[in-house]
């Protein structure tokens, strides 16, 4: 069947980092085929207002959404929160996870996310036995299809309960016995997804953290994954993680990952909150991506990572909603700037263009999304038409310069999301 041309007329659109007026887009097969600027709408065009690229959620744990508003009454720290998270994970089945993830992904879509990287480690049943046919992974893929959002499934290696410790009973369903079985399952999952016809789904990989694998495992993972596959890991989220790594290996988590060849442009360090100057240098020299999750890092009391230093060293920035205490990319971007103002005690840490880039180009790079080549935020010919419409005249956005919207807009200001040319209005 021949793809049908569809036309969208935007009052304003972000193109190559610049807001342009009266932009008409020709979309074929879900991709932008032509961008015409300064032209009037024609009969049959779909009218849109202010259109910007869709944001990318580069770090998500969908099931953590169940903890929202349920963990704050008794105080506690990250580790106490983690035990509550384990109890939530224990209740998941393929069917319940599909339903839960579909709701979470739809919430993301309505907030302006058009792609998500799901850091997925709930692989097996409660006894640690594999589900037939990758049931948990396909549940997430089906949930993304239901919501109409791109999914980079970051299948995660999780083999230990801590440095030198076996998995605990509450972690049993996360593990694959050893790194070779994880790799075998990863490759089998790739074959299953490739033949499934799920066009919005790609497969990446993740290492839960240096706590969750051995030193020898890191070398096997580096050698066993295809060179073009994105690799993510939680890195230095807590000082206790750093100390355990230093005590066991004499290296920081970043140093350990670097020693085993895992730092490269395909690598994403999630959080990267408690880094040494040498860690920052290594991540920058590798051209790695740093996935900041400001609302989660604030909620868990993790701290504020050295984002401007990482950017200056050569790393790339992206954002994630992680545990979904908030699902709002605008909130993440606003906090990315404002938290650094508190840390550095000055204004203007990032330019508006840098914030747009962290929400879009940085996330695409982190997830290795195919056919997305943009280095600056904007709609580009030859790439998927993944975008959102934002209302510039709400009580929050009225009077703001369009380029500064990341500092004032919120998810409630998103009036439409487009993924692969498919337009959806938020359900609020």
The verdict on 45 and 81 lying in the same domain is no
The verdict on 97 and 136 lying in the same domain is yes
Does a structural domain hold residue 225?
yes
The verdict on 277 and 404 lying in the same domain is no
Summarised one tens digit per residue, pLDDT across range 277-304 is 999 999 999 999 999 999 999 999 999 9
The verdict on 119 and 200 lying in the same domain is yes
Nearest CA-CA partner of 360 in 312, 318, 416, 309: 318
The verdict on 59 and 49 lying in the same domain is no
The verdict on 228 and 152 lying in the same domain is yes
The verdict on 216 and 339 lying in the same domain is yes
**Domain stop point among 321, 341, 367:** 367
Asked whether 342 and 292 are in contact (CB, 8 A), the reply is no
Indicate the number of domains in the chain.
2
The verdict on 49 and 156 lying in the same domain is no
Other beta carbons less than 10 A from residue 278's beta carbon: 13
pTM across the whole model? 0.96
Please determine, for residue 186, whether its predicted confidence score (pLDDT) is greater than 50.
yes
Sole residue written with tokens 């909620």:
299
**Domain stop point among 367, 386, 413:** 367
Summarised one tens digit per residue, pLDDT across range 367-406 is 998 655 556 689 999 999 999 999 999 999 999 999 999 9
Please determine, for residue 1, whether its predicted confidence score (pLDDT) is greater than 50.
no
Summarised one tens digit per residue, pLDDT across range 45-58 is 999 999 999 999 99
Does a structural domain hold residue 80?
yes
Average pLDDT rounded to a whole number, residues 235-246: 96
The verdict on 41 and 177 lying in the same domain is no
| Contacts of 102 by beta carbon, 8 Å cutoff, 6+ apart | 142, 143, 146, 147
Summarised one tens digit per residue, pLDDT across range 119-171 is 999 999 999 999 999 999 999 999 999 999 999 999 999 999 998 899 999 99
d(CA 152, CA 107): 17
Summarised one tens digit per residue, pLDDT across range 67-124 is 998 888 777 778 788 888 999 999 999 999 999 999 999 999 999 999 999 999 999 9
Domain that holds residue 301: 55-367
The verdict on 326 and 271 lying in the same domain is yes
Asked whether 53 and 10 are in contact (CB, 8 A), the reply is no
Does a structural domain hold residue 414?
yes
Does a structural domain hold residue 334?
yes
The CATH number covering residue 133 comes to 3.20.20.140
The verdict on 146 and 39 lying in the same domain is no
Three-class secondary structure of residue 15 per DSSP: strand
Res 195: pLDDT: 82
Does a structural domain hold residue 372?
no
Between 63 and 74, the higher pLDDT residue: 63
**Domain stop point among 339, 367, 395:** 367
Res 74: pLDDT: 73
Res 258: pLDDT: 98
Res 201: pLDDT: 96
The verdict on 176 and 128 lying in the same domain is yes
Res 374: pLDDT: 55
Query: Looking at the annotation, which residues are catalytic?
Result: 271, 322
Res 370: pLDDT: 65
Does a structural domain hold residue 30?
yes
Nearest CA-CA partner of 220 in 260, 264, 255: 260
The CATH number covering residue 396 comes to 2.30.40.10
Does a structural domain hold residue 279?
yes
Does a structural domain hold residue 158?
yes
């Amino acid at each position: 069947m021949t793809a049908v041309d569809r036309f969208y007329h935007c009052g304003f659109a972000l193109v190559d980092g610049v807001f342009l007026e009266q932009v008409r887009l020709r979309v074929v097969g879900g991709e932008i085929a032509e961008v015409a600027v300064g032209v009037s709408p024609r009969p049959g065009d779909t009218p849109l207002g202010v259109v910007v690229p869709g944001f990318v959620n580069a770090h998500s744990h969908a099931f953590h959404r169940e903890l929202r508003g349920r963990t704050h009454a008794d105080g506690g720290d990250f580790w106490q929160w983690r035990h509550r998270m384990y109890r939530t994970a224990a209740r998941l089945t393929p069917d319940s996870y599909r339903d839960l993830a579909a709701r979470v992904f739809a919430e993301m879509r309505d907030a302006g996310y058009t792609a998500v990287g799901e850091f997925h480690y709930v692989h097996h049943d409660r006894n640690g036995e594999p589900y037939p046919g990758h049931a948990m992974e396909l549940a997430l893929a089906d949930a993304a299809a239901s919501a109409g959002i791109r999914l980079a499934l970051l299948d995660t290696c999780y083999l230990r309960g801590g440095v030198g410790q076996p998995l605990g009973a509450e972690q049993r369903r996360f593990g694959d016995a050893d790194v070779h079985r994880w790799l075998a399952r990863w490759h089998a999952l790739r074959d299953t997804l490739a033949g499934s016809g799920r066009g919005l789904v790609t497969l990446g990989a993740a290492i839960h953290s240096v706590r969750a694998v051995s030193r020898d495992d890191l070398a096997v993972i580096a050698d066993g994954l295809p060179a073009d596959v994105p690799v993510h890991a939680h890195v230095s989220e807590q000082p206790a993680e750093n100390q355990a790594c230093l005590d066991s290996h004499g290296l920081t988590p970043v140093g350990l990952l670097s020693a085993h060849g895992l730092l490269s442009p395909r690598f994403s360090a999630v959080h990267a909150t408690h880094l040494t100057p040498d860690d920052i240098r290594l991540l920058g020299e590798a051209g790695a991506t740093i996935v900041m999750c400001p609302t989660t890092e604030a909620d868990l009391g993790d701290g504020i990572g050295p984002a401007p230093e990482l950017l200056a060293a050569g790393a790339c920035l992206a954002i994630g909603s992680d545990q979904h205490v908030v699902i709002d990319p605008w909130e993440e971007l606003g906090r990315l700037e404002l938290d650094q103002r508190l840390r550095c005690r000055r204004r203007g840490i990032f330019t508006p263009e840098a914030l747009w880039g962290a929400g879009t180009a940085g996330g695409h790079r982190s997830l290795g999304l195919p056919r997305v080549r943009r280095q600056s935020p904007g709609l580009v010919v030859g790439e998927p038409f993944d975008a959102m419409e934002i209302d510039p005249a709400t009580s929050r956005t009225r009077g703001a310069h369009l380029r500064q919207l990341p500092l004032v807009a919120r998810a409630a200001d998103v009036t439409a999301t487009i993924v692969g040319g498919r337009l959806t209005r938020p359900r609020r």
